Structure 1
Amino acid sequence: MIAHRIAAILAFTVGLVPAALAQSVPSSCHAIADALPKAMFASFSGPVRLAAFGRDEVKITYAHHSTYVIESPAGVTIATDYSGYAGPIVPRVVTMNNAHSTHYTNFPDPGIETVLRGWNPDGGPARHQVTVDDAYIRNVPTDTRGYGGDVPDGNSIFVFEIAGLCIGHLGHLHHLLTDGDFAELGRLDIVMVPVDGSWTLSQEGMAETVARLQSRIVLPMHRFAGPIERFLQRLPDFAVERRTERSLTVSMRSLPDRPTIIVLDGV
């Protein structure tokens, strides 16, 4: 409750600076690791702009597999885990969490302005801190499993800070997050979660991760053909909503009081 009261205050401010200065943008979602496991939230200071009245809603649409399209109040469109298709639009920004054929493409549409890969082709972790109009995007690298063993920094969890909301996409998460990972992520009001239970983290492990995050909205993805009920049963304290639409519109004001798993049409 304390974290979300802090979030409500921060909802009125969104850092906006050119992408070249993105390193100086303070994160309203970021946590400080020295208080783990009860992390403190960083203070918000620096370049800010008051959100326009009535323009605080974010639209999220399920496209396919693990691709969601996020639309900011200013009209910035972001496609997560982009593998070449994001529905009928050409997004301004795409993220690619993992170098797997269903999670990235080497041939993104030339109309896409910003392409963010969750791995570094030159080795080492990928690091992104990018501002596009009213959207601030950063990443937290995680390891992946490979045929020859673990692949360091093979995946990224992307965090999108828009209209005071902290939106996370876990990507192709393969392992339980560490205290340090949770601290880097900070508060996530909305989280997109792979629920296949095999190619990514086990459903038990994913449910443990989701339970610790305590996001107000959980959006399943990366389901394949398996029954989603097995994942839902592992989170009995979470409410469940099944929608007949592929989209939802949300703001800080409309976040549910209780952590809620929302299964959009097509998932």
Structure 2
Amino acid sequence: MSARLFIAALAALGAAPASAQMVPSTCYALAREMPGVSFVSQRASSPAPFRVAALQRDEVRITYAQHATYIIESAEGVVVATDYSGHAGPGVVPDVVTMNKAHSSHFTPAPDPGIGLVLRGWNPEGGPARHAETVGDVYIRNVPTDIQRYGAFEEDGNSIFVFEVAGLCIGHLGHLHHELTNDHYAAIGRLDIVMVPVDGGYTMSQTGIGDIAARLRSSIVLPMHRFRTPIERFLAQIPDFKVERRAEASFTISMRGLPERPTVILLSGV
């Protein structure tokens, strides 16, 4: 399958608008269970230009901020906050924020005016949200899912956001309420690092999230949206994953530093 046909097929699944064809994804892939298609190469198509920064050009820093908010920092200094509700840490004004609307802990109606780009996981005008944005050395796209609000499902009310940076594919499942279909997995593609909600009540069950984490075969799983839920209940759903409990709220990672065995990393505060 040619790259052009492959991207066009994914666009038809709702992964991105036509303009996304201008930015070839290194993370697109169809689920392993779907015949005839295999995962794309894990090597970035071209290295990001090196600039003076705290990180090397192939590194990303990830920090747990609160609830469902992780901070992703790139080598070029781009700062992204996931499921942003107005707080990303003391003095932190992100360049980009993503939001979902299940509860006020996942969005804010009045984001800081210093934020350059606000990406909502829903479309206020109706229908699915469509995002395919490049900010510095970070490419951001979304995969719409449904959401449960006030006892009823709302079609396309949530988004799984995928951040492609330094050759890594990083995904945030948002406020996911339902199992993913083969089409969802196709549109998501490879996720080296995935951020998953583990409360087991307000979002989908811990068993369901465990199944998703196992099927994605991500190298690193980052729990979020925990509340007081015992983390061991979630860990029991993915017994083949190694567990690392860290005293720090941040870590730096590159493609070459991904663990050989799938690993759940519990950062301070989670």
Structure 1 length normalisation: TM-score?
Answer: 0.87
Distance in 2, matches of 1:184 and 1:97, equals: 19
SS in 1 for 2:24: coil
| Change in CA separation of 1:168 and 1:38 when aligned onto 2, cut-off 3 Å | farther
Shift of 1:38: 7.2
Matched, 1:98 2:95: no
Partner deviation per Cα, 1:62-111 (whole Å, 9 max, x = no partner):
00000000001111000000000000210000000234211001100000
Q: Which amino acid in 2 is paired with 1:36?
A: M
Counterpart contact for 2:102–2:175, Cα < 8 Å: no
Unaligned runs of 5+ in 1: 1-19
8 A contact 1:39–1:183 mirrored in 2: no
Distance 1:149 1:251, change over 3 A: same
Q: Counterpart of 1:50 in structure 2: which amino acid?
A: P
The residue number in structure 1 matching 2:5 is none
Matched residue SS, 1:102? helix
Cα distance, 1:58 vs structure 2? 0.1
Alignment of 1:54-93 (within 5 A): 54-88=56-90, 89-93=92-96
CA distance in 2 between counterparts of 1:192 and 1:112 reads 22
**Superimposed CA distance per residue, residues 175-201 of structure 1 (whole angstroms, 9 cap, x where no aligned partner):** 010000001000000000000000001
1:169 deviates by 0.2
Query: What's 1:222 paired with?
Result: 225
For 1:148 and 1:248, locate their aligned partners in 2 and report how far apart those are by CA, in whole Å.
38
Counterpart for residue 263 of structure 1: 266
- Work out the CA distance in 1 between the residues paired with 2:232 and 2:36: 31
Report what 2:122 is aligned to: 119
Q: Distance in 2 between matches of 1:169 and 1:39?
A: 24
Work out whether 1:181 is the aligned partner of 2:178. Answer: no
Name the CA distance, whole Å, in 1 between partners of 2:27 and 2:114: 30
Is the CA contact (8 Å cut-off) linking 1:65 and 1:223 kept in structure 2? yes
1:159 aligns with 2:162: yes
Q: Distance in 2 between matches of 1:43 and 1:55?
A: 19
Task: Output the amino acid matched with 2:22.
Answer: S
Identity of aligned residues (%): 67
Separation (CA, whole Å) in 2 of partners of 1:34 and 1:86: 35
Asked if residue 203 in structure 1 is aligned to residue 237 in structure 2, the reply is: no
Give the letter for the 1:78 counterpart. Answer: V
Computed over aligned residues only, the root mean square deviation of the Cα atoms, in angstroms, reads: 2.1
The aligned residue for residue 51 of structure 1 is 48
CA distance in 1 between counterparts of 2:236 and 2:24 reads: 37
After superposition, residues 1-40 of structure 1 pair within 5 angstroms as 22-32=20-30, 36=34, 39-40=37-38
Give the match for residue 215 of structure 2: 212
1:50 is paired with a residue of what secondary structure?
coil
Q: CA offsets, 1:202-248, max 9 Å, x none? A: 00101011100010000000000111110011111000000000001
Aligned mates of 2:32, 2:179 — CA distance in 1: 20
> What number of residue pairs does the alignment pair up?
246
Over 3 Å counting, the alpha-carbon distance change for 1:37 and 1:83 in structure 2 is farther
> CA separation in 1, counterparts of 2:209 and 2:49?
36
- The one-letter code matched in structure 2 to 1:233 is A
Counterparts of 1:134-173 in structure 2, within 5 Å, are 134-147=137-150, 149-173=152-176
TM-aligned CA deviation for residue 40 of structure 1: 2.1
Pick closer, same or farther for the CA change 1:30–1:174 going to 2, 3 Å: same
- AA aligned to 2:237 is R
Going from structure 1 to structure 2, the CA distance change for 1:21 and 1:142 (only over 3 Å counts) comes to closer
1:193 pairs with 2:196: yes
Q: Which amino acid aligns with 1:31?
A: A
Unaligned runs of 5+ in 2: 1-17, 51-55
Q: Could you tell me which residue of structure 1 aligns to residue 249 of structure 2?
A: 246
3-state SS, counterpart of residue 215 of structure 1: coil
* Residues 97 and 157, structure 1, Cα contact 8 Å, conserved in 2: no
Structure 1 residue 50: deviation in Å? 2.5
State the distance in 2 between where 1:113 and 1:32 align: 32
Gap change, CA 1:246 and 1:204, over 3 Å in 2 = same
Deviation (angstroms), 1:31? 1.4
